[in-house]
């Protein structure tokens, strides 16, 4: 039962965002996530950093340390667009870490932010955490760096030239998304990402005509 005030999308355990659903991970998602984790445009910035673990090893590493994680799919579809994870929760000091991985075709489209905000809403609804911490790499950070100026998050730490990708070294970057930042950005364009809206009817492609 939702106890949030009616109409206040900031205070809701909903796992639906404007375009996406965050849904429970099932066995059917394991293979698509394994493929995603080993995609050349993803692997160096995600868990395995370019290595190629066996499928069994991948599965073993999917849950340890996880507070909650959800597959990212479009509304009404089971297609795996990505994964959002909250992990390494510290209940004494009231923070957790989070990570978002999205299919490369969706990079720089804003959908990773939409998925993250859905996760952040769920986390801040359910736990009295003060902040969500994200560890990222400069090469990935470039895709959302302007968010610091927009107040989405704060860069708290930077290890210069920590990671090597693409023939050069990139900084390791720690950012925090604090509860008050969540509340504040929800008042701007980001707030729209969590509000329901009216879907439009899409024209279906005609079925291929039978030969002959």
Partner 1 sequence: MPADNKRPDIMSLDEFKAWFVSAIEWSPDVVSEEDNLFFDLGMDSVGAVDLMVGLEDAVGGGVILPIELLLEINTVRDAYLQYCALAHLPPADGAKR
- Identify the helix (H) or strand (E) that includes residue 167: none
Minimum gap (Å) between residue 77 Cβ and partner 1: 10
Half-sphere exposure of residue 150: CA atoms within 13 angstroms, side-chain side: 13
Comparing CA positions, the residue from 172, 87, 193, 182 lying closest to residue 131 is 182
Q: Which is nearer to partner 1, 20 or 62 (CB)?
A: 20
57 binds partner 1 (CB under 8 A): no
What pairs with residue 131 in β-bridges?
A: 95, 178
CA–CA separation, 158 vs 12, rounded Å?
A: 33
Residues 110-129 that bind partner 1 (CB under 8 A): 110-114
State in angstroms the smallest separation of the CB of 104 from partner 1: 12
The distance of closest approach from Cβ of residue 73 to partner 1 in the complex, given in angstroms and rounded to an integer, is 10
Under the criterion CB under 8 A, does residue 86 sit at the interface with partner 1? Answer: no
| DSSP symbol at 146 | G
Closer of 62 and 102 to partner 1 (Cβ): 102
Question: Which of 210, 191, 199, 208 is closest to 9 using CA atoms?
Answer: 191
Among candidate residues 33, 82, 103, the one with its CA nearest the CA of residue 61: 33
199 scored as a contact of partner 1 (CB under 8 A): yes
1-30 positions binding partner 1, by CB under 8 A: 18-19
Task: Please identify which residue in 202, 204, 205, 209 interacts with partner 1, judged by CB under 8 A.
Answer: 202
Q: How far is the CB of 113 from partner 1 (least distance, A)?
A: 5
Comparing CB distances to partner 1, the nearer of 26 and 203 is 203
52 or 77, CB closer to partner 1?
77
Distance between CA atoms of residues 107 and 88, nearest Å: 25
Q: How far apart are CA 38 and CA 101, in angstroms?
A: 12
Residue 108 token pair: 């720089």
Would you give the binding string for partner 1 spanning residues 151-190, x where CB under 8 A is met? -x------------------------------------xx
| Residue 116, SS3 per DSSP | helix
Q: How many residues does the chain have?
A: 212
Q: Is 105 in the site for partner 1 (CB under 8 A)?
A: yes
CB 106 within 8 A of CB 82: yes
Is residue 76 within the footprint of partner 1 (CB under 8 A)?
Answer: no
In the complex, which residues of this chain contact partner 1 (CB under 8 A)?
Answer: 18-19, 74, 105-114, 142-147, 150, 152, 189-190, 192-193, 197-203
């Amino acid at each position: 039962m939702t106890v949030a005030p009616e109409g206040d999308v900031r205070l809701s355990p909903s796992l639906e965002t404007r375009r996406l659903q965050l849904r429970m991970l099932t066995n059917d998602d394991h293979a698509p996530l394994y493929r995603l984790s080993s995609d050349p445009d993803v692997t160096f910035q995600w868990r395995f950093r370019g290595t190629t673990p066996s499928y069994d090893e991948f599965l073993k590493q999917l849950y340890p340390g996880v507070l909650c994680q959800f597959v990212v799919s479009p509304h009404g579809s089971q297609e795996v667009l990505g994964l959002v994870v909250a992990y390494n929760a510290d209940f004494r000091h009231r923070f957790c870490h989070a990570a978002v991985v999205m299919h490369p075709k969706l990079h720089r489209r804003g959908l990773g932010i939409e998925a993250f905000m859905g996760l952040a809403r769920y986390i801040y609804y359910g736990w009295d955490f003060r902040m969500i911490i994200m560890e990222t790499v400069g090469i990935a950070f470039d895709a959302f760096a302007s968010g610091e100026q927009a107040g989405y998050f704060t860069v708290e730490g930077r290890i210069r030239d920590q990671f090597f990708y693409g023939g050069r070294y990139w900084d390791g970057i720690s950012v925090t998304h604090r509860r008050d930042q969540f509340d504040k950005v929800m008042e701007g364009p980001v707030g729209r990402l969590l509000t329901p809206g009216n879907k439009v009817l899409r024209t279906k492609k005609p079925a291929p005509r039978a030969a002959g």
